[in-house]
Amino acid sequence: MADTPKKCAHPACQCMAPANEKYCSTTCKDAGDMVEIECKCGHPACAI
């Protein structure tokens, strides 16, 4: 029942995903099957 935001399912991503989404963005969703050391979603939380 909880609809609190949760972290994006991408291991390297620091973003919060929408309550009804596993990933914060399609970028992370597309990368979800790959183990990457950095996130390329472009959100400020992930910008290095």
Q: Is 22:46 a contact under the CB 8 Å cutoff?
A: no
Q: Shortest distance, CB of residue 35 to Zn ion, whole angstroms?
A: 14
Sequence-distant (≥ 6) Cβ neighbours of residue 33 within 8 angstroms: none
Minimum CB separation of residue 19 from Zn ion in Å reads: 14
User: Taking the complex as a whole, how short is the minimal distance between the CB of residue 33 and Zn ion, in angstroms?
Assistant: 14
CB 41 within 8 A of CB 12: no
Q: Does 31 bind Zn ion (CB under 5 A)?
A: no
Given the rule CB under 5 A, which residues bind Zn ion? 8, 10, 13, 15, 24, 28, 39, 41, 43, 46
